[in-house]
């Protein structure tokens, strides 16, 4: 587990399977007490780091794709709220 805010960080757990749901791929990680946790692959070391993250060397808060998604969300929320 590589996500710094996850309760299982920084433990190493076996991946016992994969599942797909509306949010995409999920990895199933099993703890010693046989509890299975479903987590995004990006929260583990089982996927390569994003090139933008590597190139920024920790200096960038968001990737370009994150900024584009944020702009889309702000635009959608702004159009729903209307004036005043």
Q: Are residues 42 and 52 in the same domain?
A: no
State the Cα–Cα distance between residues 75 and 6, nearest whole angstrom.
30
Q: Are residues 58 and 70 in the same domain?
A: yes
Q: Are residues 23 and 13 in the same domain?
A: yes
| Greatest distance between any 2 Cα atoms in the chain | 54
Q: Are residues 15 and 35 in the same domain?
A: yes
Residue 82 pLDDT class (50, 70, 90 cuts):
low
Judged by DSSP in three states, 82 sits in: coil
Q: Are residues 39 and 79 in the same domain?
A: no
Q: Are residues 3 and 42 in the same domain?
A: yes
Q: Are residues 40 and 52 in the same domain?
A: no
Tell me the residue range of the domain where 62 lies. 48-84
The secondary structure of residue 6, as a DSSP letter, is: S
Number of domains, the chain:
2
DSSP 33-71: TS-EEEE-GGGSTTSPPPHHHHHHTT--SS-HHHHHHHH
Give the model confidence (pLDDT) of 19-34 as tens digits: 999 889 999 999 999 9
Q: Whole-prediction pTM value? A: 0.60
């Amino acid at each position: 587990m590589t996500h710094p805010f996850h309760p299982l960080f920084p433990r190493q757990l076996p991946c016992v399977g994969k599942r797909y749901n509306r949010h995409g791929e999920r990895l199933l990680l099993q703890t010693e007490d046989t509890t299975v946790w479903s987590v995004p692959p990006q929260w583990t070391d089982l996927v390569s780091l994003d090139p933008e993250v590597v190139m920024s060397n920790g200096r960038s808060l968001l990737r370009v794709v994150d900024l584009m998604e944020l702009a889309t969300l702000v635009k959608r929320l702004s159009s729903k709220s209307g004036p005043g």
